Amino acid sequence: MNLFALTVFGAAVFLFLFLIMVFAFRRTEDKAAYRLLLAVFFITVLFLSWQTEDFALQWVFIEASSMISALLVSMSRTEKSVVVAWRFLLLNSFGLGLAFLGLVILSYGDKSSLSMGFTDLLNGVKTGHNTFIEAGIWLAVFGFSAKLGLFPNHFWVSDTYAESPSPVSALISAFVSSSVCLILRNLLKLDMAMQNPHFISGKGLLIMGFITMLYSILTSQQTKDIRRLAAQSALFHSGVLGVILYLNLPDDVFYFALAANIASKSLTFSSLGIFRVDAGSRDIPVIRDLPALNRYSTGMLLAGLCMAFIVPVSPVFLSDMMIIKEGAARGAYWILVLPFLGLVQFLVIFYKIYPFLDIRHRPFPESEKSMLMKRMVLTGILFFLSLGLGCFGFTFFPDLWSLR
């Protein structure tokens, strides 16, 4: 898999999320054109960041996506969503401010070129390693990790995803994390090109990634909010991305892992949106006491959860297998902890929602039936798109199960 294939897959996922916002959004009459225009601008600036290796331009595009994201989050028009949107913008801007400072220091340290292009900087690092370059990379990596949502800059994730409309949460969680990973991958390549660095930035991402996953598991066990449960699932997968970046996987495996990230997060929040509207509540104890639920909304929620963790043909499962194989090839058998933590996270979330399966079946509420049926169809397409990516992985990586 390459960047072009990742872009095509990402565009397909965005199309169906966009259609949900067009035809199956609960507030279709409320500034619909403005909301849709923001969504288009959002995905455009992120796709532009994918097509350049100039760190300065990438920073501009990511900062633009932060401002657009804040506007999308606030469109719920509740007092809490406005507060969350401002908090999201401030925390992300703080991280991106550190990243900008790091890029400035990196540019100052590389006196061989005035360009911020990855190739030019890589040549400069190889020929002129100094403290400014090393400090600049550290700051840039740590700053962009805040946008990825890694510990200790992860506190914006739960509130942002929980208080945003589900299609907006899907867009932000799926596409921003993948975009930031493309930048961090090149920064880590600069880091690895240095001779005798004091500290490898990739190890920092590895530590932050594992702490993020553990935090997600612990928080999931304590939460009683179905939307925050989905947010913690997305946070867990962001932690996995930190480990993936540390491993410096081959390009085809790395791009497949990013596609799996997009598929799992978009499907998780899209299926959550259906269930949340059908249940009429986000409080898990309240939902457990409901006299009836629609069986199909519950089934879609479980399908999204399983595709995000344990289904053998899911892209996430295949991505984990590729990571294990790469770790085994390097003798890094500690990588087996990764799927174990994924299984623990799945079991914690499943324990929270399995009582929903015992609730009596009923049709969708008449007032929401048309909108929910449209969401079911579009989310079902996302499910099969994710399944198709998994099948593609089996054919594209035929030696997946071999440790040679």
Mean pLDDT of 166-192: 92
Q: What is the tens place of the pLDDT at every residue in 242-289?
A: 999 999 888 888 999 999 999 999 999 999 989 998 888 889 999 998
pLDDT band at 399 (very low <50, low <70, confident <90, very high): low
Residue 403 in this model has a pLDDT that exceeds 50 = no
- Report the predicted TM-score, pTM, of the whole model to 2 decimal places: 0.92
Closest CA to 180 of 141, 226, 230, 134: 141
Q: Is 244 exposed, middle or buried (0-12, 13-18, 19+ CB in 10 A)?
A: buried
Cα–Cα distance, 356 to 352 (Å, whole number): 9
pLDDT band at 398 (very low <50, low <70, confident <90, very high): low
Residue 27 in this model has a pLDDT that exceeds 60 = no
Cα–Cα distance, 94 to 129 (Å, whole number): 27
Residue 212 in this model has a pLDDT that exceeds 90 = yes
Cα–Cα distance, 53 to 31 (Å, whole number): 35
Cα–Cα distance, 70 to 53 (Å, whole number): 25
